[in-house]
Structure 1
Amino acid sequence: MQDIWIELTTTTFLEIPLSRWMLTAVALFITVVGQRLVLSAFRVLAQRLALKTTTKLDDVLLNAAERPVSLLVLVIGILVAVHLLSPPAEIFPLVELANNVGRVVSIVIGSWFVWRLVDGLSAYFTERAKETASSLDDQLVPFIGKTMKIFLVLTAVLMVAQNMGYSISGLLASLGIGGIAVAMAAKDTIANVFGSIMILVDRPFTVGDWIKASEFEGVVEEVGFRSTKIRTFEKTLVNVPNSSLANMVIDNIDARHVRRIKMRIGLTYSTTPKQMDQAIKGIETILKNHPGVDQEYMLVKFDEFADSSLSIFLYYFSASKVWEEYLQVRQEVNMQIMELLESMELEFAFPSRTVYLHQEGPVA
């Protein structure tokens, strides 16, 4: 056995002893097996923790670490194999190259792990935010997640650059010098970012609200860094820059708890005062007895002698702000008013004109 090992150490291939080639192959084999074992261990550990703990944060951490750790085991195994092989540096500086690449790849793997962790935490806290009464956290969680990802990418790029031999201090200094030019070029983008922060802090609306401005009307779908996405009722998507949106007059339709109904009913001029009084009292009774009508405030008044009608003014609110339920209340009230006026033998007026012809006597 010793003779065989001596033979392997003295026999070379590409000026590398066969013993090193053998150790390198064994290291790569152990790396592949170890990678599979690490994956299996993570899955078993995740199942056990899921049964023992009530929180999902440990599941988020394990899911985020599973694939990056598996890849890191492979990188470490390859580095060990390269060091075991250790070819002559004057022929092929593989060890130095592997060390440099390994450091860069390790930074990328670490950044990938943090990225996956931020994704998992964002999804977890988004679900938790839906359980709270406040809508601020519903918008704040995605905003913080995006900010952390941007910071992560910038940090990873700087670390990779430093490991590749670039001067970070010089790079930061050049960024400081060019910062003014960049700020001038990206002033609109910066204004939009600050606009998004103001929207999140002031909360003039939240995702899902129906809002109305002079240039658009629709439902808020997303508040991003640069713009806010609004789905119009024609199903088109409007992207409004946050800097502009922060300075607009916004009418938040969904901020109300009831919906107004304002209308007029015109009766013919053949209606008597007694009938008019009965009609008004009958309409008031309909509104007071309807479960879908808000009872806090309502008006039913004979307010105008119009050109072709005696006008009754109705002003009340539906108890629900949901559009379909609001329309249902309005329809039911209108039908009951029609039945009331029909039972009183009153007629709705419509625009009409009466022409009187005066006929003079025969000319003598």
Structure 2
Amino acid sequence: MNMETILSTDLYREIITASIIFIGSVIAAKLVFFILERYVTKITKKTRSTVDDEILQSIKKPIYSFVILLGAYFALISITVVKSHSALIYKAFTVIAVLIFVFTLTKIIGVFMKWYANTIAVKTKTDLDERILPIIQKILNIFVYFIAFIIILDQFGVEITPLIASLGIGGLAVALALQNILTDIFASFSIYFDKPFEIGDFIIVGNDLGVVKKIGIKTTRLESLWGQEIVISNTELTSTHLSHD
């Protein structure tokens, strides 16, 4: 048997082995999906909350995809001619895995935001929750995307320390430029959690007095005794003496 025949025979065996590994991963993925669909779903449906049901729906397909992804990776690197590029393959599969993770995590964040909006925010007297929740969700999603972006860059050998430093400087510049807006937003958080007043309360702030009609992210609106609308920044409300009946 000549060398060419031996090589072709070995390659043939490796391809068969790789195929078995990949098919095995597909079967394993389907088995995991079946268990989640058939058994875990029954458990989550017995609970009062719908959060676990929605989280399960959010993670089933990503888990299925991830198991197949692992199978494809191990199948490829089991082939000798491909193994020489294993480092590049690892990086490529890591990127795909990170993207799957990002997709899953953002879906889970959305589930929790939806749960809070439907169970807690609707019970409050103000619409501050509804206004703040989308902002919080966007901030969390951006943070997840940023971490994923850094991980992907790191996989391809990009020096991330200077990038983080430059982003920090850029973020500081933006924060300084938006200082007043950010201060009002943080003040709205303070009003929401401390609850110094609520809609319908009569309050006195400095020379202004009236009934609280709306508490927003940046400002709070009062109706004076003469029917006029008074707009006061949330920062002013949290930093000056306030009294109410």
**Between structures 1 and 2, the one with greater helix share:** 2
Equivalent residue, structure 2, for 1:113: 104
Pair 191,70 (structure 1): closer, same or farther in 2 beyond 3 Å: farther
Equivalent residue, structure 2, for 1:196: 185
Percent identical pairs in the alignment equals 16
Gaps of 5+ in 1: 1-8, 207-218, 229-241, 261-364
Within 5 Å, which residues of 2 pair with 1:160-309? 160-176=152-168, 179=169, 183-184=172-173, 187-189=176-178, 191-202=180-191, 242=218, 246=219, 251-252=221-222
Equivalent residue, structure 1, for 2:148: 156
1:113-160 per-residue CA deviation (whole Å, 9 max, x = no partner) reads: 211110111111111124524435444433332221121111111121
Equivalent residue, structure 2, for 1:21: 15
Equivalent residue, structure 2, for 1:297: none
1:248-280 per-residue CA deviation (whole Å, 9 max, x = no partner) reads: xx6445x99xx98xxxxxxxxxxxxxxxxxxxx
Cα shift at 1:182: 5.6
Question: Quick one: higher RCO (CA 8 Å, sep 6+), 1 or 2?
Answer: 2
Alignment match of 1:123 (pick from 100, 105, 114)? 114
- What is the rounded CA distance, in whole Å, between the counterparts of 1:66 and 1:150 in structure 2? 23
Equivalent residue, structure 2, for 1:82: 76
Alignment match of 1:147 (pick from 114, 139, 143)? 139
TM-score (norm 1): 0.48
* Contact 2:95–2:152 under 8 Å retained in 1: yes
Pair 36,152 (structure 1): closer, same or farther in 2 beyond 3 Å: same
Pair 190,29 (structure 1): closer, same or farther in 2 beyond 3 Å: farther
Equivalent residue, structure 2, for 1:68: 62
1:54 alignment partner, SS class: coil
* Contact 2:125–2:198 under 8 Å retained in 1: no
Moved more, 184-193 or 78-87: 184-193
- What is the rounded CA distance, in whole Å, between the counterparts of 1:10 and 1:36 in structure 2? 36
* Contact 1:108–1:156 under 8 Å retained in 2: yes
Give the count of matched residue pairs: 205
Which amino acid letter does the alignment assign opposite residue 201 of structure 1?
S
Pair 36,189 (structure 1): closer, same or farther in 2 beyond 3 Å: farther
Gaps of 5+ in 2: 200-212, 228-245
TM-score (norm 2): 0.68
2:123 alignment partner, SS class: coil
Which amino acid letter does the alignment assign opposite residue 53 of structure 2?
D
1:166 alignment partner, SS class: coil
1:53-78 per-residue CA deviation (whole Å, 9 max, x = no partner) reads: 22223213212211211211121011
**Between structures 1 and 2, the one with greater strand share:** 1
- What is the rounded CA distance, in whole Å, between the counterparts of 1:127 and 1:155 in structure 2? 29
Q: Cα RMSD (Å) of the superposition?
A: 3.5
- What is the rounded CA distance, in whole Å, between the counterparts of 2:59 and 2:82 in structure 1? 36
